[in-house]
Chains A and B, each alone.
Chain A
Amino acid sequence: MTERLLIEKHRDYIRSQGTKLHDFWYATSEHMRMSGIYWGVTALSIMGCRIDDLKVIPQQLPIQKEQEKKNQEKNEEKKDQENEEQEEKEENTKKNKKEKEKKKLKIASEPIGVVDFVFKCQHTNGGFSGNINHDPHLLYTLSAVQLLIMYDSFDLLDKDKTAQYIAKLQNEDGSFSGDKWGEIDTRFVYCALNCLSLLGKLDVVDVDKAAEFILKCKNFDEGFGAVPFAESHAGQVFTSLGALALANKLDQIDKDKLGWWLAERQVKCGGFNGRSGKLPCVCYSWWVLSSLAMIDRINWIDKEAITNWIYECQNEENGSIGSRPKETYDVYHTYFGVAGISLLGHEKLEPIDPVYALPNKDLIKIGITPFNYKK
């Protein structure tokens, strides 16, 4: 049977993302570059592709205005002429040649390695930001820690410091804010507990209180919303279940009832939606399947139908996966599609942990038992 998952094409697509110039999506996603890199790297890792040689350009070059460009070109030509004369006298080392080329290509930046990038985003308070010189946030702190683990650079991190940053974000009712100015959301409880569990520092926060807050967000249909009474949403179900799993409180869930709600997300075409009455999207392949995996009911959905639908969302020409067939191709949806296929047990893909959202092999490396092994 022909392999329908286009691993090589997705690999090539993701690898080209890090150094894209003048790309609209890349520019407008600058603030969440850390997460973007996490999605790309994890997808590559699950597909068994190498990640050690990945380079990224953190921030986008702007479109230079025409006149400015012309002036700059003129000045550079002048400088080039002067430099050439000087270099004829000096030894023409490789470094000079490289610099000349750079000027000619008008590229102001050099791509850097992923671990380099991660540490450049670290702040003195232990938190990580989404990009260099941005402000720290829980979302990107989690992505940063996950990346360091995947790159075998976990020991370079001051784990206490990062744990303290997270601890300060817990509120009295057990919830977490995304940053010191921010809103409350069940997503942030998940980020906090996941990160602290990876760091081995869950004891710096009140885990029971955090679980208490999550359970306040449980609705009449057994689903979870962002805050108490907010509509059940598959993304929030994933973060809530993940948090409860990390807090060892999954027994507080009616797994049959929630399992049915999650299975109900599958629509006729085979894809999953996030709430009743909405369109399916590839990202729910992850959030619904990982949630079902956590409550041991992944067999309740039609695996063939979702697999076929994810395959239909692939861009067969250039690689990548879109939100729906022929829509919005990007690294975000590529990751969620690939991760979903992995959870379904594709033999060519590395298994991914539904709670930590990291490949099992990486968890084992740092001494954490993957969720599925515990049964």
Chain B
Amino acid sequence: MTENQKILQKREEELDSDEEQNLLQKPKWVPISKRKEWEDVEPITQKDGPKPPCVVNYSDRYKETMNYFRAVLRSEEISERTLKLSKELLMLSPSYSVAYEFRRNCLFALNGNLKNELFLIEKLLDRLPKNYQLWHHRMKCVEKLNDYSNEMDFLARMMLGDAKNYHVWVYRIWLVKHFQLWDNELEFIEGELEKDHLNNSFWNYRYYVVTKSKTIPLETIYEQEFEFVFGHITKSVNNESPWVYIMNFIKILNKEQLKVLHDKVDELRKRHRHSMWPLFCLFTLYTKYLITEENLDNALTFAKYLGERYDQTRKKYWEKQIKIVEKQKQNL
């Protein structure tokens, strides 16, 4: 048996392992056709047509589970046994969106234990943390349950696995908006940034929180953010995320605020002569917001430094910018 064949077979064996048995609540897989409670149901086999292009020989377990699932899909039976069947199928095929929808219909109609369902979803997410259907299923269940009390702890566990998992953040964005959970979010994201301020997902989420939680104008938000952001920038001047974050506010700043920002960034430029970010920020300020002849000359110098030394990857970009600024100077 090749390595890959071993991996495929191991998956089947996992489903019979102790852990899965607890979840499946069965000692070992018993063919559905041999279970008394399914006697009355005629399974529907897959229709491959008269001349099938390939006679696929799925495992007996998958084949039989699908055969019975097709039957209950057609009869639209909502019952305890079809609920159990959907779970068996999803353990074998965790991306099957039809089965999730069917399962939700059963759960909701039968007043199934949605809290247990969340436990099951998390078990599957542990193995498949980027499975779209699982995250969507959880969202729908939590929405129906109308209880978010477990979700923050759940997300904290998922973040331990991968703090940049895109699905974690999409889910959190939805959760916080749906249940209006803004109050603790600023404290939460500040804590996360203290642990790792290089994580761009954290900065993106912070922007969401500070701009959505209350109806505070952007100018005021900027004042609050200024100290916080530069606190982090000072610790790590080459960190892209806080620079992009704070530069986003430039367009709404008044003259005084622009001056304060300029002085702060210039100070960093002198202290960190090899870093591209203070130069990039000043370039933006000089060419768009603090336009004077002297500033445009400085901008040209910075652009040359960036293209030739501190941001050589974007050499072509800086060559283009130099041409634009030279023209800008002429038109002054």
Q: Which residues of A contact B (CB under 8 A)?
A: 22-24, 27, 31, 57-64, 108-110, 112, 116-117, 120, 132-133, 135, 179, 181-183, 219-221, 225-233, 259-261, 263-264, 266-268, 270, 275-278, 299-303, 305
Contact B200 A277, beta carbon cutoff 8 Å: yes
B173 at the interface (CB under 8 A from A): yes
**What is the size, in residues, of chain B's interface with A at 8 Å between Cβ atoms?**
53
Contact A226 B166, beta carbon cutoff 8 Å: yes
Contact B313 A268, beta carbon cutoff 8 Å: yes
B70 to nearest A CB, angstroms?
Answer: 10
Q: Using Cβ atoms and an 8 Å threshold, which residues of chain B touch A63? A: 1, 5, 8-9
Q: List 17 A-B pairs, Cβ < 8 Å.
A: A31-B95, A108-B56, A132-B48, A181-B98, A182-B136, A228-B173, A230-B170, A231-B204, A259-B317, A260-B317, A263-B314, A267-B313, A276-B241, A278-B200, A299-B316, A301-B316, A305-B313
In Å, the complex CA distance between A355 and B39 comes to 54
Query: Which residues of B30-88 are within 8 A (CB) of A?
Result: 46-48, 52-59
* Residue ID in chain B nearest A134 by CB atoms: B96
A25 to nearest B CB, angstroms?
Answer: 8
Query: Which residues of B289-319 are within 8 A (CB) of A?
Result: 312-317
* Residue ID in chain B nearest A179 by CB atoms: B97
Q: Using Cβ atoms and an 8 Å threshold, which residues of chain A touch B55? A: 108-109
* Residue ID in chain B nearest A305 by CB atoms: B313
Contact B53 A231, beta carbon cutoff 8 Å: no
* Residue ID in chain B nearest A22 by CB atoms: B5
B199 at the interface (CB under 8 A from A): yes
* Residue ID in chain A nearest B239 by CB atoms: A277
Contact B2 A22, beta carbon cutoff 8 Å: yes
* Residue ID in chain B nearest A113 by CB atoms: B53
- What are the 4 A-B residue pairs with the smallest beta carbon separation, nearest first? A109-B54, A24-B4, A276-B200, A231-B204
Query: Which residues of B168-221 are within 8 A (CB) of A?
Result: 169-170, 173-174, 198-201, 204-205, 207-208, 212
* Residue ID in chain A nearest B249 by CB atoms: A220
Q: Using Cβ atoms and an 8 Å threshold, which residues of chain B touch A275? A: 164, 200-201
A79 to nearest B CB, angstroms?
Answer: 16
One of B9, B53, B173, B240 near A230 (C-beta < 8 A)? B173
B1 to nearest A CB, angstroms?
Answer: 7
In Å, the complex CA distance between A227 and B200 comes to 17
Contact A302 B244, beta carbon cutoff 8 Å: no
B131 to nearest A CB, angstroms?
Answer: 11
Contact A301 B54, beta carbon cutoff 8 Å: no
Contact B240 A276, beta carbon cutoff 8 Å: yes
Q: Using Cβ atoms and an 8 Å threshold, which residues of chain A touch B208? A: 229
B148 at the interface (CB under 8 A from A): no
* Residue ID in chain B nearest A275 by CB atoms: B200
Contact A27 B8, beta carbon cutoff 8 Å: yes
Contact A300 B314, beta carbon cutoff 8 Å: yes
Given contacts A276-B200, A277-B200, contact A108 B54 (CB under 8 A): yes
In Å, the complex CA distance between A60 and B4 comes to 13
